[in-house]
Chain A
Amino acid sequence: MTLAYRDPSIPDSPPARWDPRWKLAALLVFAVAVAFLRSLPPLGVALGIAVCLLLIARVPIVIILARAGLLLLAVAPFVVVLPIFVENGWPIAVAIALRCLTIGLVSLFLLRTETVADTLAAARSLGVQGTLVMIAQLAYRYALTLFSEARRLRVAMLARGFRVRTTGHAYRSLGHAAGALLVSGGERAERVAAAMRARGFDGTPRALVPFRSRTVDALAFAGIVFVSATLLAWEFAP
């Protein structure tokens, strides 16, 4: 696991220097709190906090808006349909949209301030089972390889005159391509397992924990927990 990995594409900022364990724990607490909110005012404040975190992390506004747009697009079917079928459904629809948007932007904050490798290492040191972390690592690593293979396959198909049409031939071809990717993925999994065993892997994931906690990390965590508790109190206070 990670000792020194630092992705140069992650801009330096206070949140980027935050110990990933404290950061992950804090964001989980915040996301769970947001998931329990039902009223629009606390949800609006939560969204504002998520945007502030992104701005502090120096995430460009263009990226924030683009990701927010994608999140809204994903949640749009529910937001549009709900008011039609549920009486007084607009506030519920907006609340769902705000919750999704806030949790999505908090995830973006995590992705833009920490590498996947460090986030997974932090999850591991927070007690997430090592095997799950390793599966997530491998999935992340080989998803990228799978995309590359899919792109090559697509080019090979296009080069032989394939065009996506609503015909049986097109669907069959896409099915064959997906099957080929699946089979090659299975074979790759066997080869990766062999490579791991050849380097002494016995099924027990091992890791070095490089993280060092500072007082400011704990204070930032406490701040997020305090904000989360305040939002919940606002929501549920009589």
Chain B
Amino acid sequence: MIQVQSLSHRFADGRIALDGVSFAVAAGERVALVGPNGAGKTTLFLRLCGVLGGPRGQATIAGLDPADPGQRRKMPETVGVVFQNPDDQLFSPSIFDDVAFGPLNLGHSPDEVRASVADALNAVGLPDHAERVPHRLSGGEKRRAAIATVLSMKPSVLLLDEPSMFLDPRGRRELIELVRNWTGTILLATHDLEMVLDLCPRVLVLDGGRLAADGPAESLLADATLMETHGLEVPGRLMRR
């Protein structure tokens, strides 16, 4: 589903954000992307969804190359990105408007838009929140609403960037349930390694723009040397074993 081959990205100021990253994710797989701050996780997501440009042929999602202008237009139907801060994603005056934003951009009919919004809000457990104002929602509600904004576009791949940030334990648990019940492909960037253990059988470790490790979550996250080298910690659950 996701094919990344020697993907590199350099910012305008010369900083290298990604340096020859290669990996593949199968359809329906849930993979965690972990690494210290500044590792390049968000940049990778922005490249994968086509928001950041780059050379063609370095990545494909569902056969689409996000660097190809013609194919990039189809990316929003395929890839849903949930950004770190839900306030960046909920920019409309009401939750309904936010969730409808994507389907409207895809050119869906008004009836389809209404149906998509209702389905997405039901899926995240916010069926009665359509009329709410985004800035008045709790952190957990905002996060779920942000996920609804991409689910309404019915993507086959979800890119979740630090989804448990700002969440209290209840909100975090609800998020884990929500992600667990979604059947598509998921790439999850997070510092929350306990959540990784709950959700993702496979982990990619990214550090300094390079892929440092790729393997089963339990064995990689239990490797104290690997974790320490890349600014991470062995999750408490694995330490107690």
Contacts and interface: CB of A to CB of B under 8 A. Distances in A.
Contacts of B79: 198
B96 A142 contact: no
Contacts of B113: 3, 208
Given A141-B93, A197-B51, A6 B88 contact: no
A6 B101 CA distance: 18
B106 interface: yes
Interface in B145-182: 149-150, 153
B223 interface: no
Interface stretch (B23-31, B127-135, B229-237): B127-135
Contacts of A7: 131, 133
Looking at A6, A141, A148, which has the most chain B CB atoms within 10 Å of its CB?
A: A141
Contacts of A3: 96-97, 100, 110, 113-114, 117
Nearest to A199: B102
Contact of A199 (B105, B117, B133, B135): B105
Contacts of A116: 93
Interface in A1-35: 1-8
Nearest to A2: B97
B89 interface: yes
Contact of B106 (A115, A144, A200): A200
A195 B93 contact: no
B93 A201 contact: no
**A6, A120, A202, A208, most chain B CB atoms within 10 A:** A208
Contacts of B73: 200, 202
Given A200-B106, A202-B105, A4 B92 contact: no
Contacts of A194: 46, 51, 83, 88
B2 interface: no
Given A117-B94, A194-B83, A201 B49 contact: no
Contacts of A199: 76, 101-102, 105, 149-150, 153
A138 B91 contact: yes
Given A2-B94, A117-B93, A191-B83, A200 B49 contact: no
A6 B131 contact: yes
Contact of B93 (A8, A115, A196): A115
B96 A206 contact: no
Q: Is the interface of A mostly helix, strand, loop or mixed?
A: helix
A196 B91 contact: yes
B52 to A, nearest CB: 8
B97 A1 contact: yes
A226 interface: no
Nearest to A149: B87
Contacts of B92: 1, 117, 137, 141
Nearest to A189: B88
B102 to A, nearest CB: 4
A208 B100 contact: yes
B153 A141 contact: no
Interface string B108-123: 0010011001000000
A138 B76 CA distance: 21
Interface of A: 1-8, 115-117, 120, 137-138, 140-142, 144-145, 148, 188, 191-192, 194-202, 206-208
A-B residue pairs, 7 tightest by C-beta:
A200-B105, A117-B93, A200-B76, A199-B102, A5-B94, A191-B88, A206-B104
Interface of B: 46, 49-51, 73, 76-77, 79-81, 83, 85, 87-89, 91-94, 96-97, 100-102, 104-106, 110, 113-114, 117, 130-131, 133-135, 149-150, 153
12 contacts: A2-B93, A4-B131, A5-B130, A140-B93, A148-B135, A191-B88, A195-B89, A199-B76, A199-B105, A199-B153, A200-B102, A208-B110
